[in-house]
Amino acid sequence: MTWDVLNMIGTVAFAISGAMIAMEEDFDLLGIFVLGLTTAFGGGMIRNVLIGIPVETIWTQYHLFDIAFISIIVVFLLPNMVTRYWNKWGTFFDSIGLAAFSIQGANYAVQSGAPLSAILIASTLTGAGGGLIRDLLARRKPMIFYSEIYAAWGILAGLTIGLHWVHGTSEIMTLLIIIVSLRMCSVIFNWKLPKHLKRNTREQNISI
């Protein structure tokens, strides 16, 4: 039951995230639904394709689709003043979704007998793939490639499970709490992965 609740929270968080960005980009109602559902379920669909799980299994989660639909409708109907609070609390729920879905993706890959490399890909895509598709559809630079450390926490979840460092529900929940905490720390303290240092235009002109 705990796992179902976490999946629901993650689904709601990602569905709302996609719907909010769709509204920021002035999408119509259809576009809002497409972006919201893609964010919530896109990562899982890509994972299924890559590790050989039948894609149609995604449709067995009909209760999660219902929850995502309701979440998108509520966000669409809420006044702008209320939806602004998403910027404050959305990151926390998004972190829960990232952790829950990354662990779920890694477990799927382990159960299918995939090698460690596939487990890492499955965990990362399940946790961050929906957001990647969302940003591409909204014609935005994908957040996972430049913002705070994000996809790296999905990789960490996959590595931990792929190497069989955790066993049982209690250890899985501990891993989830660690992933959520690290994600929130990366936001609060603005942790970023290294970037290539570019010379400014003036220095380039002088060198020429």
Per-residue pLDDT of 41-96, as tens digits, reads 998 888 888 877 777 777 787 789 999 999 999 989 987 766 677 666 778 878 88
- Contact status, residue 66 vs residue 145, Cβ threshold 8 Å: no
- On average, the pLDDT of the chain sits at 85
Other CB atoms within 10 A of residue 67 CB:
18
Split at pLDDT 50, 70, 90, the class of 36 is very high
Split at pLDDT 50, 70, 90, the class of 200 is low
Domain locations in the chain as residue ranges: 2-193
What is the percentage of the chain residues whose pLDDT exceeds 70?
Answer: 89
> Which residue has better confidence, 53 or 179?
179
- The pLDDT of residue 181 is above 90: yes
Q: How far apart are CA 156 and CA 162, in angstroms?
A: 10
Q: How far is CA 162 from CA 87, 122, 130, 205, in A?
A: 33, 11, 22, 49
Write the Ramachandran bin of 138: left for phi over 0, alpha for psi from -120 to 50, otherwise beta: alpha
Other CB atoms within 10 A of residue 177 CB:
11
Q: How far is CA 153 from CA 11, 184, 206, in A?
A: 18, 11, 41
